[in-house]
Amino acid sequence: MKGLFIRLLFPVLIFGSNSLYAEESNEMKLERVVIVSRHGVRAPTKLPPLMQEITPYQWPKWDVPLGWLTPRGGELTSKLGAFQRFRLVEKGLLANQTCPSADQIAIIADTDQRTRKTGESFVAGFAPECQIQIRYQKDAAKKDPLFNPVRMGECSFNTLTVKKAILEKAGGSIEQYSQRFQSGFEALENVLNFSQSKLCKEAGNPERCTLQNVLHSDLKVTPYSVSLPGYWSLSSMLTEIFLLQEAQGMPLVGWGRISREKQWKELLSLHNAQFDLLQRTPEVARIRATPLLDLINNALATEGTTLKKYDLKLPVSLLFIVGHDTNLANISGALDLNWSLPGQPDNTPPGGELVFERWKRASDNTYWVRASFVYQTLKDMKDITLNNHPAKVDVEMRACEEKNMQGMCSLKSFSKHIEAVRIPECTLIDSASFLGN
């Protein structure tokens, strides 16, 4: 226990003894927290042969299998865990010197190695030397529908409605949407040295060769998927891979051809733009996010729910949910949440945490919800020796009907909004396989 106490003092020495956030009114008390986190830094999930045809350079090797959390990703996640423990101790939700009990913290993760190991790494920073179970569905060979009910066949898209909504958001067509991001495509082609690639040489006239000319992108919507194959999906994947290389601390990221902050913004604008279109369009986001929205609402609003699937009884002081960047995008699209992350070009970066807090106002015993986003800047991810505390931005809940002076949303309005945007056909949390007696 002495070792635990010493290690939990570490964030205090780094972050300082002053409060990191504006002081709450004395009548406001933090009662519960739900964090929806993307997994930490991972290796690319795939390396299709096309990647070698679009650049004359060789792609660097990773030291873990495709899609796995890297050891460095684990270290960065542990820093986030230490930060969250420090903050929750500071706010009086948890004690400093003891291991949290089962009614204080619970962790639910998707079945992938990167999500389960991210949960373990968070615990290593949040409560070192403590035994905290990482909960995930028993059949670990399958994806958990909590994180993607459409992919797992629990519900489906109305293809005509979804396609119409996406194209309207795109401005009428994918070609028109692409015109907004020409600087991003040019930046990517420059990093790839695309004109000297095998693909361009085979196409003829390499100097006039562009990703959009060689690889077409057409919107594809099926009952169970939405995609933009071609130059959009490739560009989104490649720019995210470059960011993962940087966060992994690799030398010569992008073969040494990315050196300025402006380049990072231009490159990641492509990844963010595809996510905005395919993951945040409400007709997509509401369907995919419904199970997680139900879980968040139950964790914040109910006084007793047993999730049989995870052998878990709610409420707990902290519920930490480890999923994917798509989950963060889906929730933000469904609830109309927006954020900008200074120092981080990726809107849903590795380890990024969407945080919902339940506060109680003593004067009238009412409950309020605050949202924020906690993340590490790209600089802090690249140089893991820096002892900067994670960054945090407040997230406005614009659709909330009732707010207090601090900008918090009443729990009643928060739950009402979730009820309004959720899609009943995608309900999981009320099913017999999910709930206990």
Residues assigned a catalytic role = 39, 325
Burial label for 16, CB within 10 Å (0-12, 13-18, 19+), is exposed
If you ran DSSP here, which 8-state letter would residue 350 be given?
T
Q: How far is CA 262 from CA 186, 191, 204, 259, 267, in A?
A: 13, 13, 31, 9, 9
Amino acid at 85: R
Residue 315, preceding bond cis, omega within 30 degrees? yes
Q: How far is CA 298 from CA 109, 321, 416, 419, in A?
A: 17, 13, 12, 11
Q: Helices 325-335 and 411-421 sit at what angle, rounded to 10 degrees?
A: 100
Bridge-partner residues for 34, per DSSP?
Answer: 319, 356
> Half-sphere exposure of 433 toward its Cβ, with a 13 Å CA cutoff?
9
Question: Which among 29, 33, 35 has a CA at the least distance from the CA of 92?
Answer: 29
Three-class secondary structure of residue 379 per DSSP: helix
- The token pair that represents 366 in the structure block: 């009412």
Q: What is the Cα–Cα distance from 210 to 214, expressed in whole angstroms? A: 6
